Amino acid sequence: MARVVVVGAGVVGLSCAVRLQQAGHQVDVIARDLPLETTSAVAAAIWYPYRALPVERVTAWSAATYNELAGLAKDPDTGVRMVEGTELHRQPTPDPWWRSAVPALTRVTAMPPPYVDGWTFRTPVVEMPLYLRWLTTQVTEAGGTLTRMALGGPPVGGDVVVNASGLGARLLAEDPTVAPVRGQVLYVEQFGLERWWLDGEGPTYVVPRSHDVVVGGTDDEGEWSRTPDPATAARILERAAVLVPELTRARVLRHKVGLRPARPAVRLEEDRDVSRPHRVIHCYGHGGAGVTLSWGCATEVAALVGPA
């Protein structure tokens, strides 16, 4: 059994912690922001491979996560549900590059203008506040700990450190290639919406949850502000109402911003710096798909750490 310190309590760090515990390791999680304060808590969160590379690894991680989340959806306490929805396009579009990661995808034949193409599929929708609480409970009930601590560098201690610090890897891994892609969303009251909708050409999506509907979004590269902008919110709502006209009458409940940890490619590998006092495995840079990649990546991290 290894003593593993996981840095980061977002969806990536917590999923890694659970998988490592399942493999028999002793796991302690350290994080500057607790789960409900992370970018992960802002995610919409629909299973959808968005702004994450490389294609082959992302497709494989996404497929593995789809299966895991579909299993978790059988237990309502997890906050995961399988929901059908539609992605629409304004021009004829081939099947998405991640097509093989979902069991079925059906082309739509009738759609409102300005859309001319699209597809429907069933996918996990994850209510992040519930799900992050559920993941945290899994970690602590299996004997793990969660400690708030802002680190100035990789922690010392344990046999292995898993660096799941998202944007924090700019500091903790001295990696300037991780950069924020700002996403703003608003939440409206649930008005009976049961399907998700997505505009394939832009960051426009509408995701129903049990008590509200998430409406997004934006993807501003290199933008660090976490303050919601009212004019941006109005434009998001206008774009989203093309997909779901009822949104024009829905009551707005609140606004949020999250900074996606984007990187030219997800970094999931063991650090080759042998001067470190213990092994370090990096798992960060999941961009707009941290939820979608979480279980696939966590399984690979556990394989890298090795057997207990």
Ligand X SMILES: Cc1cc2nc3c(=O)[nH]c(=O)nc-3n(C[C@H](O)[C@H](O)[C@H](O)COP(=O)(O)OP(=O)(O)OC[C@H]3O[C@@H](n4cnc5c(N)ncnc54)[C@H](O)[C@@H]3O)c2cc1C
Q: Closer to ligand X by CB, 91 or 210: give it.
A: 210
Kindly write out the interface string for residues 178-217 of this chain, putting x where it contacts ligand X by CB under 6 A and - elsewhere.
Answer: -----x-x------------------------------xx
| Cβ–Cβ < 8 Å for 177, 263 | yes
Stretch that binds ligand X, among 36-44, 224-232, 237-245, 268-276 (CB under 6 A): 36-44
Q: Which residues does 114 contact at the CB level (< 8 Å), separation at least 6? A: 90, 242
Instruction: Return the residues of window 241-260 that contact ligand X according to CB under 6 A.
Output: 258, 260
Angstrom distances, CA of residue 72 to CA of 14, 123, 140: 15, 12, 18
The correct pick among 27, 48, 98, 236 for binding ligand X (CB under 6 A) is 48
Q: Which two tokens stand for residue 274?
A: 């042998």
Q: How far is the CB of 217 from ligand X (least distance, A)?
A: 5
Q: Which two tokens stand for residue 72?
A: 């978790």
Q: Which residues does 147 contact at the CB level (< 8 Å), separation at least 6? A: 28, 29, 30, 31
Taking only Cα atoms into account, the Rg of the chain, rounded to an integer number of angstroms, comes to 19
Stretch that binds ligand X, among 53-61, 71-79, 168-176, 233-241 (CB under 6 A): 168-176
The one-letter amino acid at 160 = V
Strand partners, 26: 3
Instruction: Return the residues of window 136-165 that contact ligand X according to CB under 6 A.
Output: 149-151, 164-165
Q: Per rule CB under 6 A, is residue 261 in the interface with ligand X?
A: yes
Site residues, ligand X (CB under 6 A): 7-13, 30-33, 38-40, 42-46, 48, 149-151, 164-168, 171-172, 183, 185, 216-217, 258, 260-261, 284, 286-292
